[in-house]
Copies of this chain bind each other. A is one copy, B any other.
Amino acid sequence: MTPFKLTEELLSEIGQLIENQQNSTLETMLEEVHYADIAEIINELNDGQATYLIKLLDSDKTSDVLTELDEDIREAILNNLSAKEIAGELEELDTDDAADIIGELPKEIVNEVISKIEDRDHAKDIVDLLRYDENSAGGLMAKELVKVRESWNVLTCVKEMRAQAENVTRVHSIYVVDDDDKLKGRLSLKDLLTTSTRSHISDVYIPKVDSVNVNEKPEEVAKIMSKYDLEAIPVVDEMGRLVGRITIDDIVDVIREEAERDYQMAAGISQDVEADDSIWDLTRARLPWLFLGLVGGVGAAAIMGGFEDMISKHAILFFFTPLIAAMAGNVGVQSSAIIVQGLANDDLKGGVGNRLIKEMLLATLNGLILAGVLLIFTWIYKGDFLTALAISISLVVVIIVAGLIGTFIPLFLDKRGIDPAIATGPFITTSNDIFGILIYFSIAKILLGI
Which residues of A are at the interface with B, using a C-beta cutoff of 8 A?
A: 1, 3, 32, 34, 36, 44, 162, 165, 170-171, 189-190, 193-194, 208-212, 224, 226-229, 231, 248-249, 251-253, 255-256, 259-260, 262-264, 266-269, 273-276, 279, 282-283, 286-287, 289-291, 293-294, 296-298, 300-302, 304-305, 308, 311, 315-316, 318-327, 329-331, 333-334, 336-339, 341-342, 345, 347-349, 355, 358, 361-362, 365-366, 369-370, 373-374, 377, 399, 424-426, 429-430, 433, 437
Query: Are A323 and B304 neighbours in the complex by a CB distance under 8 Å?
Result: no
Task: Give Cα A83 to B81, complex, Å.
Answer: 67
| Copies of this protein in the complex | 2
Task: Give Cα A325 to B361, complex, Å.
Answer: 28
**Complex interface: chain B residues within 8 A of A424 (CB):** 267
* Given A297-B327, A330-B426, A318:B320 Cβ within 8 A: no
* Smallest CB gap from A300: residue in B: B322
Query: Are B342 and A36 neighbours in the complex by a CB distance under 8 Å?
Result: no
Task: Give Cα A430 to B269, complex, Å.
Answer: 19
Query: Are A279 and B342 neighbours in the complex by a CB distance under 8 Å?
Result: no
CB distance from A365 to the nearest CB of B (A): 6
CB distance from A415 to the nearest CB of B (A): 16
Query: Are A275 and B326 neighbours in the complex by a CB distance under 8 Å?
Result: no
**Complex interface: chain B residues within 8 A of A361 (CB):** 279
Query: Are B297 and A170 neighbours in the complex by a CB distance under 8 Å?
Result: no
* Given A229-B249, A283-B366, A267:B194 Cβ within 8 A: no
Query: Are A290 and B1 neighbours in the complex by a CB distance under 8 Å?
Result: no
- Closest CB pairs A-B (n = 8): A297-B323, A259-B259, A267-B337, A275-B342, A301-B319, A304-B319, A300-B322, A322-B325
Query: Are A326 and B308 neighbours in the complex by a CB distance under 8 Å?
Result: no
Query: Are B294 and A323 neighbours in the complex by a CB distance under 8 Å?
Result: yes
10 additional A-B pairs beyond A266-B266, A293-B327, A318-B319, beta carbons within 8 Å, are A170-B231, A255-B256, A256-B259, A276-B347, A279-B361, A290-B366, A291-B370, A293-B323, A296-B323, A330-B429
Task: Give Cα A361 to B300, complex, Å.
Answer: 28
**Complex interface: chain B residues within 8 A of A32 (CB):** 208
**Complex interface: chain B residues within 8 A of A291 (CB):** 370, 373
Task: Give Cα A266 to B334, complex, Å.
Answer: 9
16 residue pairs of the A-B complex, CB under 8 angstroms, read A226-B252, A231-B248, A259-B263, A268-B330, A274-B342, A275-B339, A283-B362, A291-B370, A293-B323, A294-B373, A297-B327, A300-B319, A311-B315, A311-B318, A322-B322, A325-B326
